[in-house]
Amino acid sequence: MTGQFSSAVPLRSRFRLRTGDSKLILRKAAEDPQAFAAFYEEHAQSVLIFIARQVPDVEVALELMSEAFAVALEKCGQCRAKTPEEEVGWMYALVRTQISRYWRAGRVEQASLARLGVQPAALSDPEIERIEHLAGIDALARRVGPAMASLPHDQREAVQLRIVDGLTYPEVAAKLEVTEQVVRARVSRGLRSLAKVLQAESTQDGAGD
């Protein structure tokens, strides 16, 4: 299946999560990659917006989305969904796993993308702005700020340098004059605290939809 999956994002003129008008295709996709391409075309934007509402950067969200779909392509033969809605639920379970791993590790895993030989596609500035608008990134930033401020100083500093500023763990360790192991522990604890806040608020937002 290598080379059959593209991580480019189809941006539809209007965002809506559609399930009822799709046929069951994921198990078929195990033998027909073109079927998976149709599933991706249908749901990529919705998945990207869902992720962008829970992580602080659209490009990180794109990487997480790309890896989630790569995992889905590898595992689509294992999907036991009986309805289109169950297929979408299976996909979002994979997505939530990627988000949880990101918050725990402070980085995006790309093992499935690497195995498939796919690189996440870059978004243009207008595409980033559109996703930010649809996902309500400004609102997310307003939630992250207070959550960051509530972290202990050492965790907040480590998260700022590693996640926001994009420094590597060795660079953060050198800047803070601590070991890399200490930095990883601080970032991990800080991200778990942030994740609890953001995921709790996302759940509340979803309940109100």
Q: Where are the domains of the chain?
A: 26-131, 136-208
What are the angstrom distances between the C-alpha of 62 and each of 59, 94, 95, 111, 139? 5, 14, 11, 15, 19
What span, in angstroms and rounded, lies between the C-alpha atoms of 70 and 120? 10
Tokens of 18: 């559609």
Average pLDDT rounded to a whole number, residues 57-72? 87
End-to-end CA distance of the chain: 38
pLDDT band (50, 70, 90) for residue 95: very high
Tokens of 189: 């604890």
Instruction: Say what the alpha-carbon torsion angle 89, 6, 38, 27 is, to the nearest 10 degrees.
Output: -60
Closest to 96 (Cα-Cα) out of 64, 141, 143, 119: 64
Average pLDDT rounded to a whole number, residues 32-59? 83
Lowest mean pLDDT among 17-21, 174-178, 194-198: 17-21
Pick the CATH number of 26-131 from 1.10.1740, 1.20.1250, 3.30.390, 1.10.3470: 1.10.1740
Name which residue leads in pLDDT, 99 or 205. Answer: 99
Average pLDDT rounded to a whole number, residues 21-41? 74
What span, in angstroms and rounded, lies between the C-alpha atoms of 89 and 197? 23
- For residue 74, give the DSSP letter: H
- 87 and 38 in contact (C-beta within 8 Å)? no
pLDDT at 94 over 50: yes
pLDDT band (50, 70, 90) for residue 49: confident
What span, in angstroms and rounded, lies between the C-alpha atoms of 54 and 150? 18
What is the per-residue pLDDT for 51? 87
What are the angstrom distances between the C-alpha of 186 and each of 157, 170, 193? 9, 13, 11
> In CATH, what is the architecture of 136-208?
Orthogonal Bundle (1.10)
